[in-house]
Structures are given as structure tokens and as C-alpha cells.
Structure 1
Amino acid sequence: MNLDEYAALDATALAAVIASGEAAAEEVAALAVEAIGKVNPELNAVAGGPFERPLGYSRDGRFAGVPFAIKDLVLHAAGVPTRMGTRMLGTGVVPPADTHLMERFRAAGLATLAVTTTPELGFNGNSEALAYGSTRNPWNTGHSAGGSSGGSAALVAAGALPVAHANDGGGSIRVPAACNGLVGLKPSRGRVPTGPDYADPLYGMGVELAVSRTVRDTAALLDEVAVSYPGDPYVLAPPARPWLDEVGADPGQLRIGLHTESWAGSYVDPEVARAVEAVAEVLEAAGHHVERATPVFDWESFMHANHVLWSGFLAGSVAGIEELTGVAAGPENLERTTWACVEYGRSISATELTAALGAMNVVSREAGRFFTGYDLLLTPTMNTPALPLGRLDANAELAAGEWTRQLFDACSFTPLFNQTGAPAISLPLGESSQGLPIGVQLGGPACSESVLLRVAAFLEEAMPWASRRPAVHAATRSGRS
């Protein structure tokens, strides 16, 4: 196997090559390290590694020997330093044990070779933390790789890895998937374990999974990691059959709402709206009923709840870092908007927090009502293609409320599914006139991953993206093909 062949294969295909003996796992790991070394100088997507050898993994797992990376946030691996994108942690703290999801990744056979970049404590729609510097988009290095899973997404899009860990508290799987031309599924709340450190990160808005290049990899990985542990706050019923079996299955005739106007009233690029409408036409031609429709909710109340919940959680996270390290937080070791949100978070009363959780419930009930009449909601993932570097500057002189509003004005379609806890997937179904990927989002009611994966697999076949390649790519052939 050479680098071109390695970079062209998804995780499922690589696992088959390794299992057949056509290529040894050690050979594949060496190619992955070479690929990372080839693209990372331009992308700056690696926060730690690549390691001399992969972290331990099961040789019997579905993805045995498949190269992988973990994002430097929430999930951690025993003995591997973690910084969470903040200078407060210096060169990183070393956790003594795996998180539950890391255990599942190892059991699946994934060969972890690196830690990927994230914005400071995950609160940004790009990945430009002062702790690491800017992570760049492989399609155009003057643009953002998105956030907060930008490092993982950049490496997968550039062919260095077939799949990588990601998590999502306001769009952080789906936004970088959209920026980099990838598949990004945000599962239902409680579907993937977040313990033992967290019960429900971000008051239930935060979830874990990955970014990939194919729907089948996303489905198969979900099959491997969607388990419950003793003490988990949510225990979801397993699917009727494996999620991988949904790939290629007939989705039936669905009722699909189409919405392309920002709930925030913020700008939506006409090219993005047209890309979503083109997907609607394909779905309608396939026999689905598609019409303009949207959940109706008060954006200002929704946004205020997001601001309270994010800021409160940031304040709690920073308090934990202070206790762990003995280092006091302040503007000298936190980015300006992080510090502003932490200060605001420290001022929030129990009554205000309860009110924000109540507002979250109101939105969830309205979305639930909407999905009694529709099976899916089709929207853009982001308001625009990937933003230029620096456009979302977490170190800007902004008040806490100004920062939260600026962030979600740019990513106004994703956070609804974090507040409701329902699943949503971003698919790379469009391309801008500048050659940047455009992500299209499909969301459904709670526990509707099976339907989402069926429709996603249909769209992958009807509107294929596999032949697209970014300018920065691990294969020896350069440029887009």
C-alpha cells in the first residue's frame, strides 16, 4: 500500500485491507504518520503527536488498526496530556485513566495516533486557540477549519486519517464537517457515553462521536460506541437493528420540512440556500413530500438560554481547572471572550440557571410538536461556507453577550438540536463558487438516527462527494481532482 492508496480509503475499507493481511496494521500506521506529517505544516491541526506508535487497541475490533485521532476536549486517554485548548493548562495535564468513550474507541480497534486542536474550552465556531495557533482549512488555507472539532475535521478531509473523534455542544461536529466537506452526525442526547467525568456536558447540550468521509463509517462507528455505563443519566433503547444496516435501506416516503432562513435573522449566503434547495429537489424527485416549514420559537429567549448555559458551564470548567492546577484564571491565561463569559458565568444565580433550563424545555417541546407532523427538517448547516481565518476571534474585545451572539449568528442552524437533544447530520452536498464545501443539515426527532442514516446514504449515492479533494491532501497528487 502506498500513500495515495491509503488516503483514498475510508475506515471500513482500511479495516478490510488490514484484516485480509494485504497490509499490516503497522504499515498502515506508518502511512498515517507520514500523511499527518505531510499536511500538518500547512493545516496546524495536531495538538499532540503523532505518537511513535498508536495507543493500545483491540486487535479483534471492527476497525482494528485503523488510524484515528482524539480531539483535545472532554474525551481523554490515560497517560496522554490534554490542554483543552487553553493556556491555563500549560503543556497539559495527564489523566490517569480513559474516559468511557475512549474505552469504546480502543475496543473498536481504532489506532489513536494524535490529539487534534480545538478552540479554547470548545467555545468557538473555528479552531484558532492561542494555545496552538490557527488551524487552517485544507480546501483554502486562508479559511477556517471550523470548530470546535476543526483539527479532527482538517486531518480527515486532507486524507491523513479516515475518521477522527469530535464532539458537539452547539454545532461542533456539524460545523467543521460542513467547512471541510465531511459527514458529521450529532447523535441523540445520551446515545454515546460521556462519563465518567461528565453526566451531561453543557447541561445536556454536549454529545460525542466523530467526523468521517462516508456515511457507512459514521453508522458503523455509532454501532461500536453507543453503549450505556452504570450511572449514566440516560439509557436509550438500542436500535431495532445495527445502524450500519440502515445504509442502503429504503427510507420510505418521508415528510420533510425545508427551512433556509436564519432563525436569528442573520445573513444566509444565497449559494448555501441554493445548495439546500437542490437537495430538496432530489428528495422530492425520490418521492418524499418536501415543503417549507419550521419549528417556531423565540430566538431571543433561545439565545439568552444558550448564553447562560454556555457561560455557566465555562465558569464551572475553569473552576475545575483552577482546583486541579492551583492556577488562578484571568485575562493573562484565558482568551478575552472566554474570560468575559467566565466572569458572567460566575454571576449567574440559581434562579437564572433554572430559567434558562426552562427556556430550553420550551424550545424542545416546540420542536417535538413540529416533528409530529414532519419526519425530518432540512436546513443549511452553516449560514455561509467556511469563514476567513480570524473572522470569529475569541480574543477580541467583546462583552460576553456580544461574543455569544456573534458566534451563533454565524452558526444559527445547528444549536437547535443541542437544546432539544435530538440528532442531526451534516452532509457535504454543495460547493461554493470559490470551491469551498457547503454542508446541508438534516435533523429529526429524538432517537431518529436510523432515518437520518438511511436518507444520508441515499443522498451520498444520489449526490456523491467522494471524488472531491481539497488543495492540501496527503496523496502525492496535489490539487483537486
Structure 2
Amino acid sequence: MNDKGHPASFTGTARTQGGACSPDEYLTLDATAMAALVQRGELEPQDLLDAAIARCDDVNPRINAVNMRCEARAQQTLAARREAGTSRDGAFAGVPTLAKDMHTAVAGTITTNGSRSQRDAAPATYDATLIARYEAAGMVVFGKTTTPEFGLSTTTESALWGKTCNPWDLAMSAGGSSGGAAAAVAAGIVPVAHATDGGGSIRIPASYCGVFGMKPTRYRTPHGPDVFEGWFGASCAHVVSRSVRDSALALDVSHGHEKGSPYWLAAPERPFADEVRRAPSRLRVGLVADSLTGMPLDDDIAAALDATVRLLTRLGHDVEPVTLAIESQQLFSAHGAASGTALVAAVRDRETALGRALQTDELEPVAWRIVRNAQQYSAETLYRARRTFERIGLQMEEKFDRFDVLLSPVTATLTPPLGRLSLEQEYEEYIKHIVGSVSYTALANVSGQPSMSVPLGVSRSGLPIGMMFTAALCGEGLLFQLAGQLEAAQPWAPLAPSL
């Protein structure tokens, strides 16, 4: 550990003089450390961007995490900051990053949502509020990351962009739908990358790729400016990162009300970055071992869960088994109604823009099936789905009268091989395979609570296993306290070792 309580593997070594950032040095730095070097004048933002581009050139052909590059935009951003004298300003001064290619506008780029139906979409003329806030804090967006079609799978594979490989094992999935983001961070292309989570899409890829991933409380981060919520608020945006402190700092610079939105949360008691350095008090931890889908827990994941309980006990926390008693059929039906009708709307919007109906080969088979199913929903179906969100949210909040956090696995099954969760298969096969990956995560999307994946386990085959912690609404500060403690007690690998 260094003198600030952070794993030394994320913070690089002291620089005695300026100069370019070497490839090896770039890989030792998390975003917080990069920004500190820029702020002190020991590194130039251009050095970091050059190093990120070089790393992307080196490893992306093997993992397919970045599907679009906007380097000219990034260079213009740096030039404008130099001219304005603000190159060293911001909490993330000069830090290179990537935006997820999913419902997120980056001016001058298209958003394909991983779909052939969107590949000729018009470039955005504005930045999403979240992207604008990242760049106002000093980040430099130079590309976008791969996604499955409309975020419909927990793997990142699409007919448009191909398969995104797990940097720990190129034959395995990187997770989804933020698999491109998680793979890019695990491979060292960037230390922190934008991601979204509508049913586990931050936490599942974080678990599979061995990085840290926090889904914030519903409405903590902005979703606009064109649409102010996704899937009744189930879909939230944040980042995946190598270090806990980067995630906390990213939430500090991005949270808060955006103009025009009817949704926002009260400001936290103190900056999230400060919480990482605060030891949590003795926590009451509820252990949730049973999955919502009835999927049995893989032996390696069960072993990682047991080891996490021992670690928590050693750190002074109390762990007690708990049963959630959530009506899983209602939960998944409500979530499916929200996400399915959103897909129908996206398809109709695209057809309006094209002036024609989409052709069979413009959506993948599973997506077409979801569209057909969702077209049958009534207004009552959607109304009752929204009520289910509220009821389950209350049920979960009542659990936090007794517990400070809930612990569970992120998934019931281990990282799958590429192809198993593809949207280019029969719908029934897709459903059969996907239940192992969404057995735990979707609950927090429906209920709204913050939830994080912490890389605390490794399978016998050497693949990362994440453990999930969920807190009460607006409980991100407590989660960051716990995550910082776990990171210090059991540091994880800063990069996937296979690249």
C-alpha cells in the first residue's frame, strides 16, 4: 500500500522529470494518478492520449473492444484546452477514455447500439450530458466501445461488430452489454470507461473481466438531454475502472440534476472520493446465496462467495444468511415489459428516420422475437410493470432496516465461451443460457438500489469472479467505503495478464 491507502499497483512510481509517457508507465497508472501527474506538470495530456492510442492499436485487434475511433475530435479537444490554458484543469485532467456505443451521444460520431439497423445513423450534433460532464472534468474521449444489439445480451457479440473477447481468455465472453468497456479497461487501453447497466450490464462484464463496476442509485447520473430515463429508470450510467477511487471520482464529477429532467437525487453527504479513504464501521451483511432464477451456483463461484464471507468476517463485519422472498416471475416480467417496449420504440424511431420498415437482416433473431413479444403488451401491462418496480423497491428498502449491505455473487454461472449468449440463435436457446448470468443482477435495476461488482475471486481456470454488494437507495458512499477496504485488504490484478 502507498501512503494514501491505495494499492501501489494502480498509482505508478514517482517521476523525477518530465517526458513522454512510456507504454510500461501508462499501464501502471489509474486515472487519478494520471490526472495528478498532468496537474503537476509531470505529464502532458498529449502524452497520455498518444499512449492510449498506441495501446489500442496494439491490443484491440485481438479483443475487439473499441469499434469506433474519434481521434480527430480528441486532438481538437486538446488543442482547444491548450489555447484556453486549461490543459491541466479538472479532476481527470488529460485522462483518455472511451464512451459506450449505446444510447449515448458523442458529437461527431454515430451511435449504432450494436445494430445493423443503425449503422448509417446520422452523427450526433451534441454530447450527452454525461459525456459533457466527463470532458468538463478533463477527460478526453477518443473512441467508442462495442456492445451487443441494443444491450439485449450479457455478452458483447453482434452481427455488426463481431465478438468482443475477454482479455483473460480470448475464447471467452467479456460480458455485456458493457463488455467493450470492461475489456478495454482490463486490457489497459484506458483506466476508466463509460458504461451503462440496465440489468447487470456494468456488473456482469466487470465480474468477467476482473475490474471494478458500480451501478449507481436510479437517477444518480444524468441520462439526457434527449431522454431522461431508460427502462423506467432501470438503466443507469456510470463507468468501469481498474481502481475503486477512479469510480468514486467519476461519480463525483458526473452526478447531479440536469436541466429539464424531472429526476434527481439529493447531493451526498461528502464527495464519493472521500468515502473510499474512510473505513466503514462494523457492517451487518446479509448473505444472499440463492439466485432469483433457481439456477444452482457454480462450485467455483460458491467457493469465491465463501472466501468473501471469511474476508468480511476477518475485517470485522457480521455476515448472516438472508432470503429475499422476491417474486422473480413478476420482477423479470416487469423488467421485460420495460426493456421490450423500449426496443419497439427504438425500432419504430429508426423506421421513421429511414422512411421504411426494417428488413429481416437488419435485426438479429432474438431482437426480432423481443419486438414481436413486446408489441402484444397493453397499456395496463406497462402500468402494472411500473407498479412492480415500486413494490420491489420498497421490499428491498425494508431489507436495509436490518442489514447495511447485501452480498451475493454477480452471476450464478462462470464466464461463458463466446457464442453461447449470442443474439443470433433461437430465442428459446438464448433464454436457457442467459438465466445463469442475470440470476442476481436485475433485481437492483428494478428496485433502484446501488450495487457493485468487486473482483474478489478467481476460478480454477484462471478467470475472474466478481462478488456483488448492494446498499440502500443513495448508499453509494457506504459501498465505496467497503470497496476501498476490500481493495486494500485483497488487491486485484490491475490488468489482465494474457495481453
Same fold (TM over 0.5): yes
> Given that residues 83 and 93 in structure 1 are in contact (C-alpha distance below 8 angstroms), is that contact kept between their aligned partners in structure 2?
no
Whether 2:220 is the aligned partner of 1:191: answer: yes
1:67 touches 1:112 (CA, 8 Å); kept in 2? yes
Distance change (3 Å), C-alpha of 1:217 and 1:134: same
- 2:254, 2:390 → 1: CA distance? 28
Counterparts of 1:50-449 in structure 2, within 5 Å, are 51-52=71-72, 54=74, 56=77, 59=87, 60-398=89-427, 403-404=430-431, 406-449=433-476
CA–CA separation in structure 1 for the residues paired with 2:193 and 2:414: 21
- Cα distance 1:334–1:282, how it changes in 2: closer, same or farther (>3 A)? same
1:77-98 per-residue CA deviation (whole Å, 9 max, x = no partner) reads 1111211100001244211111
Contact 2:188 2:495 (8 Å CA) reproduced: no
Q: 2:90 aligned with 1:32, yes or no? A: no
Displacement after TM superposition at 1:99 (Å): 1.2
Partner residue in 1 for 2:496: 469
Q: 1:405 and 1:319 mapped to 2: Cα distance?
A: 28
Q: Secondary structure at the match of 1:378?
A: strand
Distance 2:269 2:479 in 1: 14
Name the counterpart of 1:41. Answer: 61
Distance 2:120 2:340 in 1: 25
The one-character-per-residue Cα deviations of 1:100-138 (angstroms, maximum 9, x if unpaired) are 111101101111111110000111101001110000000
Partners in 1 of 2:236 and 2:129 — Cα distance?
A: 13
Computed over aligned residues only, the root mean square deviation of the Cα atoms, in angstroms, reads 1.5
CA distance in 1, matches of 2:370, 2:204: 22
Per the alignment, residue 476 of structure 1 pairs with none
1:195-246 deviation per Cα after TM superposition (whole angstroms, max 9, x unaligned): 1122210111000011000000000110000021122122211111100001
Please tell me whether the aligned partners of residues 294 and 370 of structure 1 are also in contact (alpha carbons under 8 angstroms).
Answer: no
Q: Which residue of 1 aligns with 2:10?
A: none
Deviation at 1:411, TM superposition (A): 2.0
Which residue pairs with 1:9 in the alignment? 29
Rounded Cα–Cα distance in structure 1 between residues aligned with 2:356 and 2:412: 38
Contact in 1 for aligned 2:411/2:436 (Cα 8 Å):
no
- Counterparts of 1:373 and 1:81, CA distance in 2: 47
- What is the alpha-carbon distance in structure 2 between the residues aligned to residue 243 and residue 4 of structure 1? 29
- CA gap of 1:235–1:317, structure 2 versus 1, over 3 A, is same
* Distance in 2 separating the partners of 1:415 and 1:392: 17
CA contact (8 A) 2:166 2:174 kept: yes
Per-residue CA deviations over 1:314-368 (Å, capped at 9, x if unaligned) read: 1111112222233422422000000110111122110111122222222222111
Aligned counterparts of 2:331 and 2:437: Cα–Cα separation in 1: 15
Partners in 2 of 1:366 and 1:234 — Cα distance? Answer: 21
Which residue number in structure 1 is paired with residue 12 of structure 2?
none
Most deviating of 277-286 and 220-229: 277-286
On the 8 A contact 1:89/1:325 being kept in 2, the answer is no
Question: Any conservation in 2 of the 1:88–1:327 contact (CA below 8 Å)?
Answer: no
Aligned mates of 2:433, 2:394 — CA distance in 1: 26
The one-letter amino acid of 1:441's match is M
Contact 2:204 2:437 in 1 (8 A): no
Give the % identical residues. Answer: 39
SS of residue in 2 equivalent to 1:385: coil
Distance in 1 (alpha carbons) for counterparts of 2:434 and 2:346: 20
User: CA separation in 2, counterparts of 1:389 and 1:403?
Assistant: 13
3-state DSSP class of the match of 2:163? Answer: coil
Structure 2 counterpart of 1:21: 41
1:228 and 1:272 map into 2 onto residues whose CA distance is 38
Residues 356-399 of structure 1: CA deviation (Å, up to 9, x unaligned): 22222222221111111111000111223321001102111225
Per-residue displacement from partner, 1:224-271 (whole Å, max 9, x unpaired)? 000211221222111111000011202111111012221210132111
Contact map agreement 1:178 1:385 (CA 8 A) in 2: no
Point out the more displaced range, 42-51 or 184-193: 42-51
SS in 2 for 1:347: coil
Partner of 1:479: none
CA contact (8 A) 1:379 1:440 kept: yes
Q: Which consecutive residues of structure 1, in runs of 5 or more, have no partner in the other structure?
A: 473-481
- C-alpha distance in 2 between matches for 1:67 and 1:116: 13
Output the CA distance in 1 between the equivalents of 2:168 and 2:60: 13
User: What letter corresponds to residue 228 of structure 1 in structure 2?
Assistant: H
Matched residues in 2 for 1:157 and 1:253: separation? 32
Distance change in 2, residues 1:259/1:27 (3 Å): same
